[in-house]
């Protein structure tokens, strides 16, 4: 039996109620000062990494004890993750920073089934968590006592006094017919398997020159902002079994490489043209978003509907409009939703009383998709089958050491369906991350009920004169030969 040493960093939990303070997130009218206590389980004698794969913190909120469980988002970065910026004379400079031991986590609150959390632990705890249906923020306080943190409700952050604006949309595929619910789509077993297969989006974020000026040429601050936003983006898209890997950041540190203007549609078109002509030739990816600090006319973002994997149209633009990471990530998620076939929610769409990601003109962030968004997304996938999102990253492309139970198949694992208490996969042993006896696979277009599909079974329909892709009978993966529509 492996001995486990329970290491506890004991800090006083001393709540302090404050009336008003200026924090990184802005002016906060009511906050609480807490001193989180860290509890970590490590094998006896093991060297402690800088940022552990799993951590647990205890503190009090409104006088009640809270236990925050955190797990590192190990798939946040791809192995070939790169950052590009430009010298004063315009030379392109690309680096490959080490990101294996990063500090970005997802989490939950103990004994709260509906809780979520997205936290960076780089310098203290910074991020947000949902507790008993309410959104809280946490961040370190810049006090002599470095362990002090402020915790406060989102509703207590002073909002900017401006007319609400959300998103424009550029139509790319015909979706004017009434959206049928998934139960009315008469899905074939193959279509249902396709929808349940895990999807992967390799994302590049480009920061324009106005962002550089806004952050006083501090590229680290820009990168940190993007890391936090994409970490939240990953959390949101878990609902669709979509994993988003950040494969690169590009910062236009010298000058903009397109004409970035307030007219969002013009900027989006130019960005798409530039992506197809330049960025795609330098960096393999599925989708790109332009993060701009310019004030877009009437919107906070813009994207094409139903355009994932298209060289010019698998793009979006997002305004860096808020000091809060999750408010910007919320717009990123909304625009990516358009690329994935979702339109704006109408009045009949709902998220069980919670804000919906694809709703416009709202004043609070959303982490749930409506029934309308789900049905539109599924219908788009079935009709278009965007091929790039089925490219499963190689197990060697994951930058962190393997860990059974993180929902990501890594080196040495045959499957990974999460922790045993949550795994519902009939093919995978959640304790060992190995396939159960008598099974051959647990996921993939050529996997059916834990067995490889027969050789010659069509797994991807090609376009034009190309032949359809067919299963080999020896693998769960669908081999790629043709061009797909």
- 448-483, pLDDT tens digit by residue? 889 999 999 988 766 555 677 889 999 888 876 543
d(CA 327, CA 379) in angstroms, rounded, equals 28
**Domain enclosing residue 91, as ranges:** 32-156
Query: Which pLDDT band holds residue 185 (cuts at 50, 70, 90)?
Result: low
Q: Which residues are annotated as a binding site for Zn(2+)?
A: 334, 338, 344
The one-character DSSP state at 298 is S
pLDDT of residue 337: 97
d(CA 337, CA 215) in angstroms, rounded, equals 28
Q: Which of 128, 156, 184 is the last residue of a domain?
A: 156
pLDDT at residue 285 is higher than 70: yes
Domain count, the chain: 2
For residue 480, tell me if it sits in a domain.
yes
Q: Going by DSSP bridges, is the β-strand pair 21-23/26-28 parallel, antiparallel, or unpaired?
A: antiparallel
Q: What is the CATH number of the domain that holds 476?
A: 4.10.70.10
Of 66-70, 168-172, 249-253, 443-447, the range with the lowest mean pLDDT is 168-172
Residues pairing with 38 in the sheet: 9, 57
Structure tokens at 103: 């500090």
pLDDT of residue 303: 96
Percent of all residues in the chain with a pLDDT value above 90, rounded to a whole number = 58
pTM across the whole model:
0.77
pLDDT at residue 16 is higher than 90: no
pLDDT at residue 178 is higher than 50: no
Q: Which residues are annotated as a binding site?
A: 334, 338, 344
Q: Going by DSSP bridges, is the β-strand pair 287-292/37-43 parallel, antiparallel, or unpaired?
A: unpaired
Nearest to 393 by CA among 231, 246, 289: 246
Q: Are 248 and 283 in contact (CB under 8 A)?
A: yes
For residue 310, tell me if it sits in a domain.
no
Nearest to 24 by CA among 309, 215, 270: 215
Mean pLDDT for 46-53 is: 77
Q: Are 484 and 387 in contact (CB under 8 A)?
A: yes
For 224-269, write each residue's pLDDT tens digit. 999 999 999 999 999 999 999 999 999 999 999 999 999 999 999 9
pLDDT at residue 6 is higher than 70: no
For residue 245, tell me if it sits in a domain.
no
d(CA 473, CA 446) in angstroms, rounded, equals 8
Mean pLDDT for 377-406 is: 75
pLDDT of residue 177: 39
Q: Which of 156, 188, 206 is the last residue of a domain?
A: 156
**Between 401 and 117, residue with greater pLDDT:** 117
For residue 149, tell me if it sits in a domain.
yes
pLDDT at residue 407 is higher than 80: no
Report, as residue numbers or ranges, the catalytic residues.
335
For residue 21, count CB atoms less than 10 angstroms from its CB and return exposed for 0-12, middle for 13-18, buried for 19 or more. Answer: middle
**Between 400 and 11, residue with greater pLDDT:** 400
State the SS3 of 396-418. Answer: HHECCCCCCCCCCCCCCCCCCCC
pLDDT at residue 26 is higher than 70: yes
For residue 256, tell me if it sits in a domain.
no
List all residues 6 or more positions away from 347 whose beta carbon is below 8 Å from its beta carbon. none
For residue 467, tell me if it sits in a domain.
yes
E strand residue ranges, 191-264: 199-207, 242-251
For residue 339, tell me if it sits in a domain.
no
For 359-370, write each residue's pLDDT tens digit. 987 878 899 999
Name the strand (E) or helix (H) holding 27: strand 26-28
Q: Which of 138, 156, 174 is the last residue of a domain?
A: 156
């Amino acid at each position: 039996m492996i001995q486990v040493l329970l290491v506890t960093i004991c800090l006083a939990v001393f709540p302090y109620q404050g009336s008003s303070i200026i924090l990184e997130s802005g002016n906060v009218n009511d906050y609480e000062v807490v001193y989180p206590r860290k509890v970590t389980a490590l094998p006896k004698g093991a060297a402690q990494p800088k940022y552990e794969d799993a951590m647990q913190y205890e503190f009090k909120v409104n006088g009640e004890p809270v236990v925050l469980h955190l797990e590192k988002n190990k798939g946040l970065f791809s192995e070939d993750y790169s950052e590009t910026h430009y010298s004063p004379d315009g030379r392109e400079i690309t680096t490959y920073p080490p990101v294996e031991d990063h500090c970005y986590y997802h989490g939950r609150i103990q004994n709260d089934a509906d809780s979520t959390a997205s936290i960076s632990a780089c310098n203290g705890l910074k991020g947000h968590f949902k507790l008993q249906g309410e959104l809280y923020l946490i961040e370190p306080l810049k006090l002599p006592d470095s362990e002090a943190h402020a915790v406060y409700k989102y509703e207590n952050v002073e909002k900017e006094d401006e007319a609400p604006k959300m998103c424009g949309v550029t139509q790319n595929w015909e979706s004017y017919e009434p959206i049928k619910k998934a139960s009315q789509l008469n899905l074939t077993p193959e279509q249902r398997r396709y929808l349940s297969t895990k999807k992967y989006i390799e994302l590049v974020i480009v920061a324009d020159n106005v962002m550089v000026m806004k952050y006083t040429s501090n590229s680290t601050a820009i990168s940190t902002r993007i890391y936090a936003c994409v970490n939240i983006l990953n959390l949101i898209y878990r609902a669709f079994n979509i994993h988003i890997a950040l494969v690169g950041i590009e910062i236009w540190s010298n000058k903009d490489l397109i004409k970035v203007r307030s007219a969002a549609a013009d900027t989006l078109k130019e960005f798409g043209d530039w992506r197809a002509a330049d960025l795609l030739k330098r960096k393999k990816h599925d989708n790109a978003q332009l993060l701009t600090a310019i004030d877009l006319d009437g919107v906070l973002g813009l994207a094409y509907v139903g355009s994932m994997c298209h060289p010019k149209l698998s793009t979006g633009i997002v305004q860096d409009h808020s000091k809060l990471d999750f408010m910007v990530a919320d717009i990123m998620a909304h625009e990516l939703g358009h690329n994935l076939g979702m339109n704006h929610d109408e009045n009949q769409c709902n998220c069980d009383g919670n804000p919906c990601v694809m709703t416009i003109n709202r004043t609070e962030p959303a982490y749930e998709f409506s029934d309308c968004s789900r049905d539109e997304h599924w219908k788009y996938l079935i009709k278009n089958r965007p091929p790039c999102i089925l490219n499963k990253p190689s197990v060697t492309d994951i930058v962190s050491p393997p860990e059974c139970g993180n929902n990501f198949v890594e080196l040495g694992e045959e499957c990974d369906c999460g922790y045993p208490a949550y795994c519902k996969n009939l093919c995978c042993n959640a304790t060992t991350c190995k396939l159960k006896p008598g099974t051959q696979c647990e996921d993939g277009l050529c996997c059916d009920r834990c067995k490889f599909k027969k050789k010659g079974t069509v797994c991807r329909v090609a376009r034009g004169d190309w032949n359809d892709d067919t299963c080999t009978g020896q693998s769960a993966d669908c081999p790629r030969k043709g061009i797909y529509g």
